[in-house]
Amino acid sequence: MYKAAGCAACPHAFITQFSLKVIVGIVASPYNGWHKQVIERLQPMTTHPLVDRFQVLGQAMTDALGTTGSDASPRFSRIAAEQLECFLPKLRGFSLEDILSAALTTKAEQLDVESHFGDPPITWFMGERFCIESYVWNDNSTSVHDHAFAGAWTTLVGQSLHRQYRFEADKKITPDFELGRLFLQKGERLVPGMVRQITPSDQFIHDLYHLDRPSITLIIRTCRLDHPLRGQRHYIGHEQHALALKTFDRPPMETLQRRLLKASLQDDEANFRQLFKALLEQEGFERITRLTARTGFLLSHKQLGDCLRLLENRWPHQGHYVSEALLHQRQLATMINLRHRRTDTQDRLLLGLLRCPSTREDLLEQVRTLAETEDPAAWIFQRFEQWAEEGELLQLTPTQREALRGILEGQPARNDEILDRFTLQNEPLLQVLGRP
């Protein structure tokens, strides 16, 4: 039996001679996500109807673009959005099973099949100026990032929490690294049929937090731009302490150092600390920040705290920026890990909203809007209470539970001290409630 779905080793010659009819069953599991159970049968090759429809979309986009205009201009993004909106009725009813089986019959050149953006990313149309891709999302979500390309995307399957941000630079360390502030501008709940445009550079900074398992998005995007940009960046931190970092084309030595740090963690904690201190003496602020950011999620709280103290001792003012930003990144990673345990869309929505609201009032307002409830405090408390009863995501004593209810109902003066004494120090889920 030849393993086709998700197998990077399938020889291209094999797929050009045969089509694999794939039947995929989706099994929900709160711990392991959905699993692909594949039954295969070889048949003479036929092109899946979904592939033909993407070719039609690609030709329509080519005709609409014409031969003039910059691919980096708002015109490209606007045309891409218009074409997606016109084409969406032809994509209704397609599912993950259709996407996976159709991918085996596409002949399109793949833009970046090794990318971790999507699981997997699939290129359906490759033109001279643009391509059409879909991304399958399970429990992975995007970081806060901008783009070095233009385009538009839509949701085909599932729902997502979409948020846009504004970055205000305070200090440019290098052309690829800035310190600044990151502010949430707006949030929305994306459902199938909604189309959003992508503008290059920091005019459009956003993230996507996927609520359903799986979710599928479809994008029309430029493959390359006709004028130089400073490249895509991702953003770490929130509000007063944030970092903007160019993410691609990093030096090979930086990659080696990062992998050495990861390897040292498998052996002994002392080895990691010794290697980190050696790098701290020989490398600059940007390199150390990048290495800490890329390995921090693997560290224990103590290890990360030790690294941040060393970094702040070396660069006191700038190191404080990095410490605050990376501690926030750690909180986001905790939320992502907790989300793996939940399959309910509303539970996952609350976990997503707890990632970065600045105050409890912000949280209540976002829940009111995105969960479409008239009583956001009761909506939140119902989920916290359920999680506490299950004992999986949240540990609360009866006293703390009542304090939490009071805070959500607008009685913080009497209850904050009870909650602060223990809960806010130990439950990342509740840290936002300490900021009225």
Ordered by start, the domain boundaries in the chain are 46-242, 252-314, 357-434
As a whole number of angstroms, the distance between CA 190 and CA 197 comes to 13
What is the β-pairing status of strands 151-157 and 160-174?
unpaired
Whether residue 2 has pLDDT greater than 60: no
How much of the chain exceeds pLDDT 70, in percent?
A: 79
For residues 322 and 284, the answer to whether their CB atoms sit within 8 Å is no
Task: Give the C-alpha distances (Å, rounded to integers) separating 433 from 350, 356, 375, 377, 380.
Answer: 13, 11, 17, 12, 11
pLDDT at 436: 58
Using pLDDT thresholds of 50, 70 and 90, give the confidence band for residue 61: very high
Least confident of 156-160, 286-290, 337-341: 337-341
Using pLDDT thresholds of 50, 70 and 90, give the confidence band for residue 100: confident
Whether residue 27 has pLDDT greater than 50: no
pLDDT at 123: 92
Amino acid making up residue 236: I
H, E, C per residue of 264-297: HHCCCHHHHHHHHHHHHHHCCHHHHHHHHHHHHH
As a whole number of angstroms, the distance between CA 248 and CA 146 comes to 12
The tokens for 61 are 């986009």
Residues 291-304 have pLDDT tens digits of 999 888 788 888 88
Residues 6+ apart with CB under 8 A from 284: none
Using pLDDT thresholds of 50, 70 and 90, give the confidence band for residue 336: confident
Using pLDDT thresholds of 50, 70 and 90, give the confidence band for residue 426: low
Residues 6+ apart with CB under 8 A from 125: 54, 55, 57, 58, 108, 131, 132
Using pLDDT thresholds of 50, 70 and 90, give the confidence band for residue 424: low
Burial of 273 (0-12, 13-18, 19+ CB in 10 A): middle
Amino acid making up residue 312: E
What is the β-pairing status of strands 35-44 and 195-198?
unpaired
Of residues 266, 427, 247, the one with CA closest to residue 334: 427
Assigned fold of 46-242:
Jelly Rolls (2.60.120)
